[in-house]
Amino acid sequence: MPTLAVAATHGMPFFELAIPCHIFGTDRMDTPPDWYDLRVCAIGTDGEAPRAQSWFTTHTPYGVEELIDADTVLVPASSDVHGDPPDVLVAALREAHRRGARLVSLCSGAFTLAATGLLDGRTAATHWMYADLLAERYPAVTVDPAVLYVDHGDVLTGAGATASIDVCLHLIRKDFGTEIANSRARQLVAPAHRPGGQAQYIETPLPERRDDSLAPLLHWAAERLRQPLTVADLARQANTSPRTLVRRFHAATGTTPMQWLQVQRIARARELLEGSDLAVERVAEISGLGTAANLRRHFTRAMGVPPVDYRRSYRADGTGRTGTGRTGGTGSAEPAGPAA
């Protein structure tokens, strides 16, 4: 029976703590006899019961020693992504890994794994809102903000919130097979494996209007997405040369004019897929992506999921949102951002 330890610390978000406890700690009809031995381990609490956020207190007989001896160690979301994780937890994770444990982070728990140094030189996932911060704090880690999880075998990192479910189901699939994982997913009323990634949940708002910025031009272009705009068209509207516009555009947005237009067209297609019953051909036309084939190609590349599947995930009678994982740091999930 494999032991699975969940690190419980003061201030941890309750949601990411509850998910593994529910998935791995609930006995069900299909639970194999050699199912996980779940142990919630209080870490760095000086003997006190760890309190999840400010609402719940976790009472457990397990601590650091049980975490170090576990076969798999799960690290829920961090209580403070701007601060340092407890030294005792970082040391325990390093020791557990040295002894052969598989380490798994959920959401911003990637910050704790990064502090151990075990993510250096590897690709990692975390909540897309924290991706830039994780990359800034730990430059030796390659952060992928698009995927739902990254599996290196000995170390796994998961993306935000409900992606923790995807990570847990992935572990079950690896340890007990597809049939058990699918059965557990049905009980959770969750997809067993989600195509796509976090990219489809990242907002791309327009900047505020300011006369001393490119915002007026960006708003002008956003209202004409269905037109075949060129850099020359944008430069003419901005009353500048194409070369100067490209330079100003990159300084203001970090990307090129045509890449920015592509991102806005994908965002417009998202709105139409979510809120209308328009045919894919019409969505392609209105969003400025041209043909249905062009929409499918660029939308799938940018969002990790085809337009039809994306629309289904947002329908009232749909089966749930979509997403994907990456294994070994070499998966095929596309990064968030504009399509070429």
- Element (H or E) spanning 312, and its range? helix 307-313
Task: Please tell me the distance from the alpha carbon of residue 326 to that of residue 311, in angstroms, as a whole number.
Answer: 23
List the beta strands (DSSP E) in the chain.
3-8, 37-42, 51-52, 56-57, 72-75, 102-105, 123-124, 142-143, 149-151, 155-158, 326-327
Phi, psi values for residue 159, rounded to 5° = -85, -160
Q: Are strands 155-158 and 149-151 parallel, antiparallel or unpaired?
A: antiparallel
Write the DSSP assignment of 143-180 as a string of letters. Answer: E-SS-SEEE-SSEEEE-STTHHHHHHHHHHHHHH-HHH
Q: Please name which of 21, 140, 161, 3 lies closest in space to residue 77, comparing C-alpha atoms.
A: 161
Task: Please tell me the distance from the alpha carbon of residue 46 to that of residue 17, in angstroms, as a whole number.
Answer: 19
CB atoms within 10 A of CB 274: 12
Task: Please tell me the distance from the alpha carbon of residue 114 to that of residue 202, in angstroms, as a whole number.
Answer: 23
The dihedral through the CA atoms of 36, 37, 42, 44 has a sign that is negative
41 carries an active-site annotation: no
The dihedral through the CA atoms of 227, 232, 236, 239 has a sign that is positive
Task: Please tell me the distance from the alpha carbon of residue 323 to that of residue 55, in angstroms, as a whole number.
Answer: 30
Going from the C-alpha of 225 to that of each of 75, 247, 289, the distances in angstroms are 44, 22, 9
Q: Please name which of 134, 99, 97 lies closest in space to residue 114, comparing C-alpha atoms.
A: 134
List the beta strands (DSSP E) in 43-99.
51-52, 56-57, 72-75
Catalytic residue among 21, 41, 107, 168: 107
The catalytic site residues sit at: 107
